[in-house]
Structures are given as structure tokens and as C-alpha cells.
A and B are shown apart, each in its own frame.
Chain A
Amino acid sequence: MKVPLSRIAHARSGDKGDGSNVGVIANTPEIYEFLRQELTAERVKEHFREVCRGRVERFGVPNLLALNFILHDSLGGGGTESLKTDAQGKTHAQGLLAMEIEVPDHMLEG
């Protein structure tokens, strides 16, 4: 079934120089393994194509069931130089959780 990522994970974002980071935490170990396959850096870059001008890096944090994404050049100059309302990428986690993703039905139970 196609659902927003927020059905199976939660997340937080903040700034990292002129980029942002989005840490996505899976609700279960099984979902973590699923997201490791599905939620690639390329897919996140495509999702944020109008926000992120640089590359997207991904790190695994298996002990927290988390994937950490760095969205390079996504703040319009970063920190005080940026003219954006969201100059710190505070909203990027909410943006990623809105991604529609095809999830096996049994992962949505419970």
C-alpha cells in the first residue's frame, strides 16, 4: 500500500553548514531494513529536488534504527547569509515524512 513515510517512521532535521541533515527513524527493525533498501540517497535527492542543490549523503545508524541524510547546499547560503524563511532546514524532516512510499501491508499493522 502507498502511504506517507510518517506512517512507518519519524524524523528530525536541522542545519549543517550550508546544508541540512534529516535523521529518519524507523518504527521497527523490519521497517529499518526495508528503508535501507528503499530510501536511498538518490530517492531523497529527487524528493527534495526544488530544495537541495547539492548532493545527498546517507549514513546508517542501525542501533537507533535510523538513516541520517545530509542535504548539501539546501539552505540558500546557510546561517545568516540565507534569505530563506527556513534558513536552518527545520522543516525538512516534515518534508521527508510526507514522501509517498509503497510499503508491504504487514508492516502497517500494529
Chain B
Amino acid sequence: MRTVRIGNGSGFWGDSIDAPVDLLRGGEIDYIGMDYLAEVTMSIMMRQKLKHKDRGYARDFIDFIRRVLPELQERGVRVISNAGGLNPKACREKIFKEARDLGLKGVRVGVVEGDDILPRLPDLIAAGHHLENMETGEPLDPILDKVSSANAYLGARPVVEALDQGALIVLCGRVTDTALTLAPMIHEFGWALDDWDHLAAGTVAGHILECGPQCAGGNFSRWWEVPDLWNVGYPIVEAQEDGSFTVTKHEGTGGMVSVDTVAEQLVYEMGNPREYITPDVIANFTTVRLADAGPDRVSVSGIRGGARTRYLKVSASYLDGYKAAGQITISGPKALEKAQLSADMVWKRLEKAGVHFEPECRTVEYLGVSSCLPGILEPPEDPPEVVLRLGVRDPKRSKVKRFGYEIAPLVTTGPPGVTGFAGGRPKPQEVVAFWPALLERDEVESHIEVTVEEV
């Protein structure tokens, strides 16, 4: 049976910049998926696009393409990415410029558009699509003027279209992470739109790959068993037409692929295991069978799926006030007591200045004592040192800014042993909140555009 090798070279924006290059050069590979978009990324890209009309995509991706484009073309290794963000066409122009600079010809790049529904929101709402918040049930209309981005999650189909048209690189905005893996399988094996079991298999493969090395030894509970994590191999799925696949990594890399490392990634960010809903299919994770298939090889089979829903998920972002956090280091003896006194001083001084924060809008953490798992891991009675971390949130920028002035003075006004105040006053950051909603599939899919162009 024919095998198609699909790897993941980036799990998020900020992931290792050498990993995708190593994945390309380390052995056989047919497709590389590159994920850059977290929810917050879209609103950052919106701000970039508002400042420069030719920005609003992941520029790290261009750096990657510049390093490897001749090799991609020569070996026919195809790259699928959501690096296009809010401006996939500008991203394509930039890639074409790189191709021309490298003296390359015949580079075909596909662009998928139609996920960005921000300009359509007033019309959609007027047409009776209220985009109710999936958690609270409230309609979107009252906060419409605060919305800074709104994107529907697209599935694998438009990506398949671009691959069918011969694109070497496919640039998308908001597509599901799993589509980056499922699309090449549909393209290669010709799976039907309603071939739910196979679509579910490709979706599970995508879920295993989507966080890069997290299925190959990264973030593994028994981390002490994992060899050479510094050189961890990014994962590869060897896919077959019957929907079964093997998870592996290139020989000579660090990390490990075992039934346990793959199982941990399967449960990552899991909700109801019977209903993993994507635009393409509903995958049932309780049907996944894992088996050891040799060193650093795990075979995956048996996956069942159900019919896709009538809706697509939409994620809108909106400005929801400001926040800031700052920290300072306090040594012992009695580090914790001194940190508690310091925190108390900050709040009292702010009150004196007429700046009040409600308890739910402020936080005090004692890093090294109880910040991550309070009440679970027992702190030492008198820790040798503590990092005091204070944070606030408020609709008013000026109040948040005022808070930022109160940390540094602790060095001279507070108890002894206060140090490590570096990086200046904490500055207010915009809080970008998310609004998850559902929208009729047809409203989005009728606006999807796939274009493949060549330089």
C-alpha cells in the first residue's frame, strides 16, 4: 500500500525555527504542516494589518521559506500553513518575492480565503445570525464596535482544492490545525466528503501532530525516560489509504515516540472524547487503537467518525480592558512573610492614591511557593527565596498604568532582601477577549475562495 509522509514543523507561533528545516532535511517527507495561529494571534495580526496593509501574516514563515524554497521545489515537498493569518495574499506576494530573489521559476502557491468574516458581521447580524456566545448565550451585536477580528474555522476541503491545483505551498488564514494533516490525505487518497471514518482518521492524525514534539517526548510525564530532548524530532505520520497510520520521527533525532507519548497527546485539550468536532467530521476518540510498531513507531487504527455538523465555529476577538503584571524577588529568612508584607504595601499605597481594584481584578502569586498548584504541592516552611508576582486588570488604562509605578519602590521602602527588579515598570497591555460562536456552514462556505498562482 502507498504511504504518504506528513510531518509537523511548527506547533505554534514562537516554536523552534530550526525544527521545520531539520524535518525537511532529516529524511523522507512529502508534506510539512506549519501551525502559527493561536486565538490571540489573530488580533495581533489585525493590528499589524491596520498599520501596514501588506502585513498581518506570520513573518517567521517567510524566514523558513527563504531557507528552504529551492529544496522544497527540487524534492517536491509541499508545505501547508495557516501562516497567511489575516493577509494570505500579502504573504504569497512576499514568497513570490523571495522566489524571484532566489532565481526560482514555477513556484506555485495557493491561497485560501473566506475565513475572515469581520467585514461581513453587520450584514450577517442583520440577516438574523446573532452569533450568540457559546458559553453565555449573549448575542454579539451589543459589543460589535469593540470586535477587532472575527474568523470562521475552515476545514480541509479548500486546502485540498489548492493541492489539486498543484500548489507547492498552501497559505491559509484560520483553518483548523487538524486540516493541515487531513488535507494531504484527502488529496492523495481521494477520500469522499462523507467518508466519515477516513476523515476521522486523518483528523486524529492531525490532532496527534498539531503540537509538534508533544507526541514525540516533549511534555511527557516520565520525562526522565526521554533521550536527547534537546534534539527532539518533530513528528511524522506515515498515512495509508485505508485510514491507518504510523506515528514516527526521523532517525537520529532525540525524543521518543511510544504508545504512551502518543496517548498523552491524544488526551491533550480533550473535551468529550466521543465528539471531537471539526468542520470536516466528528471524530470518536474512543475508537482509536494504538500499538507498538517498533522503536519510535506507533501504529494507529480503528478510528470511526460521524457526520459533520451544519455549523462552523467562529472566533471573534474584542478589546476588553487592560492588564499588567510585575514581579520582584525576595530572599529569606522569612521570604514569604516579607513577600506578603510587600504585596499588602502595594495595595494600601494604591488605595491611598485613590486607585481601587476589585479582588477578582487583582492577583498575588508567590512563585516558588504556591502559584501553580496551591493546596496540592506542599511548600517548604521557610523557603530560601520567593518571587512575588502582582497583577491587575481594569477597563481603564490609566489605573493599570498607575499600578505599574508601585513595584520598584519596594526595593527601598519594603523589608530587606528585595531585589531583582529588572525590565522597568510593568506596562498596561490590552486584554483581548474571545467570543466563540456558531454560524451556519453555508454562510461561510459560499464565500470561500481558493486561488493558485505561479511565479
Q: Give A contacts to B, CB under 8 Å.
A: 6, 10-18, 21, 23-25, 47-51, 59-66, 68, 70, 76, 79-81, 83-86, 91-95, 97-99
Contact = CB atoms under 8 A, between A and B. Distances in A.
A51 B373 contact: yes
Nearest to A67: B267
Given A25-B264, A66-B263, A95-B372, A79 B271 contact: no
Given A64-B288, A83-B325, A85-B389, A98 B377 contact: yes
Contacts, number: 130
B376 A68 contact: no
15 contacts: A12-B219, A12-B264, A23-B270, A25-B264, A51-B376, A59-B273, A61-B270, A61-B285, A63-B287, A81-B431, A83-B362, A84-B365, A85-B371, A97-B221, A99-B376
Contact of B267 (A23, A49, A92, A97): A23
A83 B363 contact: yes
Contacts of A21: 267, 269-271
A80 B266 CA distance: 25
B367 A80 contact: no
B17 interface: no
Contact of B286 (A14, A63, A93): A63
A59 B198 CA distance: 24
A64 to B, nearest CB: 5
B272 A59 contact: yes
A79 B432 CA distance: 9
Given A51-B373, A98-B376, A64 B271 contact: no
A64 B267 contact: yes
Interface of A is mostly: mixed
Given A25-B263, A63-B287, A50 B374 contact: yes
A64 B375 contact: no
Contacts of B287: 63
Interface in B275-296: 285-290
B265 to A, nearest CB: 7
A95 B373 contact: yes
Given A23-B268, A64-B290, A70-B271, A86 B376 contact: no
A68 B273 contact: yes
Interface string B353-381: 00000000011010100011111110000
A86 B365 CA distance: 11
Given A61-B273, A62-B286, A68-B270, A10 B222 contact: yes
